[in-house]
Structures are given as structure tokens and as C-alpha cells.
């Protein structure tokens, strides 16, 4: 079952049209779980997520994957590989359970002031989310880290239903573990524990939990 999710594709304003150039170079479609580029690749392009979700992940010394960033419709990547021209520090792929549609943008994005403003905004928010995740990884329990991810998903794709929140869970258990920096087993144990305590319910790819429960993830 596909989760409906209204994309917030941003318009680039008059700047692009005035120069009568198309901003979108070409569309890209990814099957579920397929890789767009790999850690170490050298080309640096600008993509925008149109539908579906993308994950940016790196492998650690021990061969474990860590999802460094989760991308939603409207998000651009990779912003910082544009700033320096170093090779990609991570692998970009669609989530294992969902296909994704992307736009590969025209290389002269820097001449479009509207787009540049959007990119700067997204870059700053990305850094803030990373700080939050670093703090959580450093000093909080697996439960708190999962809560943080749930709060993120609620912000980006959740809807209220009475006093509870319904949020999409496009991630497999393995991906959720890679995003929270814990093992699959610990992640599952924590989820079932939350369900047993009546704080969280799920069916298929939808999670449901109390509003105040999510708020306890605030930093």
C-alpha cells in the first residue's frame, strides 16, 4: 500500500522564466531501493525529490550503514557537494519499499536568486537537524532516538486525527535502525515495548500515537 503524501514542490519564481531557460534538466525515476550515486563518486549534480523518499547513507569502519539524512518531496541534494567540489561523502538511494521520482536540475542554479535562497534555507535546516541527531546519538537512549525520527516524520508527512497523530512509516525496520544508529533487534524491541505500553500503534505502514507523546521528543 502506498502512503499518500502531498509534495511541497517549491516554485522557482520568475527568475528562471525570465531567462527563458528550463530549470529541470531531466526527470529521474528510481525503483524501490535503487542507488542514485555512491559514496566516492565525483560528479556533483543538484537533484530535487518530487515524490517518494530518499536516504543518504554512509558506511562506517565496521561496515555498518548509517542514514545521515532523510529526504522528502521538495528537498534538494546534494547541497554541500556543490559548495566544495569534493566527491560525495555518502550513497544516495530510494527507500527499500518505495520508488522515487527526482528532478535533475540545470547546472546554472546559482544564477537564480530565488533558488539560491531556497537552497540556503534547506542547507541551514539540514545542519540543525544534524546537530539534533548528533546530540541524540551521543547521549540519548534508543527510545528517544526513535521518538525523534517519529517526530520528524510527523512534521513532514503526518496528519491529526482527533487527539492522536497518524504518520507515514516508509522505512523498513532495518532502515529505521540505520537512521537511529542502533541494531535492528534493539529497534524492534523498543517499538514493541512502546506498543505494549499503549503509546504507539501501527498497521502496515502507518503509525499512530498521541500528540503529547510526540512532544516529549522535543529538544
Contact set with a copy of itself (CB under 8 A): 58, 60-62, 64, 66, 68, 80-81, 83-84, 86, 89-90, 120-121, 123-128, 130-131, 133-140, 144, 181-182, 219
Residue 86, Ramachandran bin (φ over 0: left; ψ between -120 and 50: alpha; else beta): beta
CB of 107 to DNA, least distance (A): 35
Regarding 191 and contact with DNA (CB under 7 A), the answer is yes
Is the CB of 16 or the CB of 67 nearer to DNA?
A: 67
Regarding 218 and contact with DNA (CB under 7 A), the answer is no
Count the Cβ atoms, other than its own, within 10 Å of residue 99: 16
Q: Which three cell numbers stand for residue 207?
A: 503509525
Regarding 174 and contact with DNA (CB under 7 A), the answer is yes
The interface partner of residue 2, options being a copy of itself, DNA, none and the CB cut-off 5 to 8 Å by kind, is none
Count the Cβ atoms, other than its own, within 10 Å of residue 165: 20
The interface partner of residue 48, options being DNA, a copy of itself, none and the CB cut-off 5 to 8 Å by kind, is none
Contact window for DNA (CB under 7 A) among 5-13, 83-91, 122-130, 166-174 = 166-174
The interface partner of residue 197, options being DNA, a copy of itself, none and the CB cut-off 5 to 8 Å by kind, is none
Of 54, 50, 51, the closest CA to residue 78 belongs to 54
Cα distances (Å, whole numbers) of residue 195 to 133, 163, 190, 218: 24, 17, 9, 20
Contact window for DNA (CB under 7 A) among 10-18, 77-85, 107-115, 180-188 = 180-188
Q: From CA 7, how far away is CA 140, in angstroms rounded?
A: 32
Of 32, 37, 28, the closest CA to residue 57 belongs to 37
Cis peptide bond prior to 22, omega within 30° of 0: no
Q: From CA 216, how far away is CA 147, in angstroms rounded?
A: 8
Q: Which of 143, 153, 168, 200 binds DNA (CB under 7 A)?
A: 143
What residue ranges bind DNA (CB under 7 A)? 62, 96, 141-143, 172-174, 181-186, 188-192
Amino acid at each position: 500500500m502506498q502512503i499518500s503524501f502531498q509534495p511541497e514542490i517549491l516554485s522557482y519564481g520568475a527568475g528562471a522564466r525570465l531567462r527563458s531557460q528550463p530549470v529541470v534538466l531531466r526527470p529521474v525515476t528510481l525503483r524501490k531501493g535503487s542507488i542514485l550515486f555512491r559514496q566516492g563518486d565525483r560528479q556533483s549534480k543538484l537533484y530535487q525529490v518530487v515524490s517518494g523518499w530518499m536516504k543518504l547513507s554512509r558506511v562506517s569502519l565496521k561496515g555498518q550503514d548509517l542514514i545521515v539524512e532523510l529526504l522528502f518531496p521538495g528537498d534538494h541534494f546534494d547541497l554541500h557537494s556543490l559548495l566544495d567540489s569534493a566527491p560525495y561523502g555518502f550513497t544516495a538511494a530510494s527507500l527499500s519499499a518505495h520508488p522515487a521520482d527526482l528532478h535533475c536540475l540545470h547546472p546554472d542554479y546559482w544564477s537564480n536568486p530565488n533558488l539560491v535562497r531556497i537552497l540556503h534555507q534547506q542547507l541551514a535546516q539540514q545542519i540543525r537537524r544534524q546537530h539534533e541527531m548528533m546530540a541524540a546519538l551521543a547521549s540519548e537512549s534508543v527510545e528517544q532516538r526513535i521518538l525523534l525520527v517519529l517526530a520528524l516524520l510527523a512534521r513532514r508527512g503526518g496528519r491529526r486525527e482527533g487527539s492522536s497523530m497518524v504518520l507515514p512509516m516508509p522505512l523498513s525496520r532495518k532502515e529505521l535502525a540505520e537512521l537511529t544508529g542502533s541494531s535492528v533487534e534493539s529497534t524492534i524491541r523498543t517499538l514493541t515495548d512502546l506498543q505494549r505500553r499503549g503509546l504507539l500503534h501501527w498497521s502496515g505502514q502507518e503509525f499512530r500515537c498521541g500528540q503529547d507523546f510526540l512532544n516529549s521528543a522535543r529538544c
